[in-house]
């Protein structure tokens, strides 16, 4: 049986390498599939903190720099990649901290760098990801919860969430697109497949492309269908439970969804 550190490294490897060793995939219950890897990590749910915590969203920016500053303070000799907020790298850092029994650092790392997004990400990957990677998502959720239980959770929100931008009612079409595509603003994870499914269900001809391109196309074709999609996702994702150790993080994301619903109410009455 793998140690907790080994499980963390296995989860990290599976999120970074589309063709890891077959024995690792077997232990995680994941079926080898490069298309499934690409669908999950490249198209649907990019595994970066910044993707979930920036307006736009964009990769890099303030969340990535906060992560870099955090690691520089706790582990100044640790080489960090340009996008050091990648899930795989953050899990590998946690594994190394476990190996080195750096418990104070590990406790801070789990709460500040893993808790803000990755329990939510695990639920999203399990719900919207390809079937081949659902066992990976389930193991990620269990492992993060086990780590948090063992280390004990703080009573204050992680800095990433305390410093997150606040949602505002959109003033124009582009503002609505940014609100809906940015999890940090809406509290909702909107995948490309959800956009395309909504357009098909409403028989709306949407131009295929990236998330922004496709969602803007949906907004332009039928704004109310776009609002209905966001409402449906907000209500569905409100039922996600992140585990008792992450209760205040779960509430933060729920507060964002509630604010989105209030904004949608106002938009639908116009």
* Domain edges within the chain: 4-161, 169-268
Helix (H, G, I), strand (E, B) or coil at 244: helix
Strands (E), 124-167: none
* Residue 100: pLDDT over 80: yes
Packing angle between helix 118-128 and helix 87-99, nearest 10 degrees?
Answer: 130
**227 Cβ contact list (under 8 Å, min separation 6):** 264, 267, 268
What's the mean pLDDT when you consider all of the chain?
93
What confidence score (pLDDT) does residue 2 get? 65
Model pLDDT for residues 26-85, shown as the tens digit of each residue: 888 888 899 999 999 999 999 999 999 999 999 999 999 999 999 999 999 999 999 999
Cα gap 207→189, rounded to integer Å? 21
pTM value is 0.95
Residues of 203-216 as b/e, b for ≥16 C-beta within 10 angstroms? eeebeeeebbebbb
4-161: CATH number: 1.10.3480.10
Please compute Rg for the chain using Cα positions: 19
* Residue 1: pLDDT over 60: no
Q: Cα dihedral sign for 209, 213, 218, 220?
A: negative
Cα gap 85→177, rounded to integer Å? 24
Helix (H, G, I), strand (E, B) or coil at 93: helix
């Amino acid at each position: 049986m793998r140690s907790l550190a080994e499980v963390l490294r296995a989860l990290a490897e599976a999120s970074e390498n589309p063709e890891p060793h077959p024995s690792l995939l077997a232990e995680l219950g994941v079926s080898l599939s490069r298309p499934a890897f690409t669908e999950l990590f490249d198209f649907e749910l990019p595994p970066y903190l910044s993707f979930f915590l920036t307006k736009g969203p964009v990769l890099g920016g303030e969340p990535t720099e906060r992560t870099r500053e955090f690691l520089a303070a706790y582990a100044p000799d640790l080489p960090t990649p340009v996008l050091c907020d990648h899930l795989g790298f953050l899990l590998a850092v946690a594994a190394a901290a476990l190996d080195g029994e750096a418990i104070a650092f590990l406790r801070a790392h789990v709460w500040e760098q893993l808790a803000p997004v990755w329990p939510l990400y695990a639920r999203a990957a399990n719900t919207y990801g390809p079937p081949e990677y659902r066992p990976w998502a389930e193991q990620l959720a269990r492992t993060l919860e086990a780590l948090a239980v063992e280390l004990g959770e703080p009573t204050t929100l992680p800095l990433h969430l305390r410093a997150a931008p606040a949602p505002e009612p959109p003033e124009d079409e582009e503002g609505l697109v940014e609100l809906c595509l940015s999890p940090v603003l809406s509290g909702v994870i909107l995948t490309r497949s959800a956009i395309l499914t909504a357009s098909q269900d409403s028989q709306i001809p949407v131009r295929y492309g990236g998330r922004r391109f496709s969602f803007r196309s949906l907004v332009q074709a039928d704004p109310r269908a776009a609002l209905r999609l966001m409402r449906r996702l907000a209500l569905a994702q409100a039922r996600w439970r992140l585990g008792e150790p992450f209760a205040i993080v779960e509430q933060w994301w729920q507060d964002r969804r509630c604010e989105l619903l209030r904004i949608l109410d106002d938009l639908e009455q116009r």
